[in-house]
Amino acid sequence: KTHLSVVDPIIWALFALWLYEAAGARFKGMLRFDPATALFLLCVAAAAIRFPPRMRCIKETVQMFEYFGAAWLVVRHRTRSSRDIRNILAVIMGIGSAVLAIALVQYFSAHTQDFMVCGTFANRNVLGGYLALTMPLMFSAALNAPSVAWRVWAGVLTAAGATVLLSGGAALGIAAGCFAVAAFKSRWRIAITAICAALLAVAALPRLPRNNASVLYESVRLCDEQGTMSQRYVEWQAAATMIGEFPWRGVGPDLYQENIGMYYGSLPNPPSETSEHDSQNLYLVIASTMGIPALLAFLSMLAAGMTTSFSKAVTVRTPWTEVMYCGIFGCLISYFFSSELCKSKWVRS
């Protein structure tokens, strides 16, 4: 599988335009790159060097450079004014509207299994990863947008996302991200957000057609009714064993699923099947496929993003920049926590 989507050629085309514009300006001020991101990409490239070379490793490495390198440079260059930020928000929320509309149709369809309430993605866990990266931004727009129409639009999208969300790991991350967004304004907003979250969890979710509260709990529970450990957490132990054997460069980018099975034999009671698709711990996946240095660089990259977005949200007080940077800070908080229980890095959006 190449896992290419319509987004990939769009990024390539935009990056080509960026290169043309940057060359005209002799790249002045346009190549500033976060050191943690550069270190992460260096670790990815080192992990991909295999003999004989593996096409899947090369493909994953190219896409890592595409998303964390080319796309980052393009977006950074196009967020210099409030108008740019508003346009980017419109694109993000427009795509989110389409994804959530499809997910709502699936959610209310009696013929769709819980696992396949996924919008335009592969399954509920990948949709959960996508929502973890976008819902705090939508929540920020609902709270801070200068336009009433924008607030209503963002509020509807936030409610729709809460309805179709069936991945417990993503739900925990999104809750943390939304509380972080609410904390920027006042203690009253935190209190109101807490009350709304409690009403949602206790009164609304159990009464939805799919009994969301029960589905969310079952997706992250430690043990089943018989006391057997959930496959997700059993696989964590196997992944830790794989990290211990390949601590520096891992087994190779995108080769986690291909290799994890052989480490089940190191467990006291090996499971008969693997865990649910895309429910792995992202940090264990990175460390086992690209090495512990890549994981540390990735966490540093997240920390740098949180620091930058928090600083800009506090110091830059124009309405649209406040919406964007408060939302990005919340999204990174959400991403950090949800990645423990779903592979949101693999979301192609």
Average pLDDT in the chain: 85
pLDDT at 347 over 90: no
How far apart (Å, rounded) are the C-alpha atoms in residues 156 and 62?
36
The whole-number pLDDT of residue 274 equals 61
The pLDDT tens digits for 13-37 are 888 888 888 777 777 766 677 888 8
**Domain assignment of residue 197, given as a range:** 81-219+285-346
Q: List pLDDT tens digits, range 260-273.
A: 888 776 666 655 56
Residues 149-206: pLDDT tens digits?
A: 999 999 999 999 999 999 988 999 999 999 999 988 778 888 888 998 899 888 888 8
Q: Is residue 176 part of a domain?
A: yes
Determine if the peptide bond prior to 253 is cis (ω within 30°).
no
Look at 4 and 19; give whichever has higher pLDDT: 19
pTM of the model: 0.88
Using 50, 70 and 90 to split pLDDT, how confident is the model at 344? low
Burial (CB count <10 Å: 0-12, 13-18, 19+), residue 189: middle
Among the residue ranges 59-63, 135-139, 301-305, the one predicted with the least confidence is 59-63
Inside any domain, residue 152: yes
Q: Is residue 166 part of a domain?
A: yes
Q: Is residue 14 part of a domain?
A: no
Among 139, 12, 151, smallest CA distance to 74 is for 12
295 within some domain: yes
Looking at residue 184, its amino acid is: F
**Structure letter (DSSP) for residue 291:** -
Instruction: Please state the domain count of the chain.
Output: 1
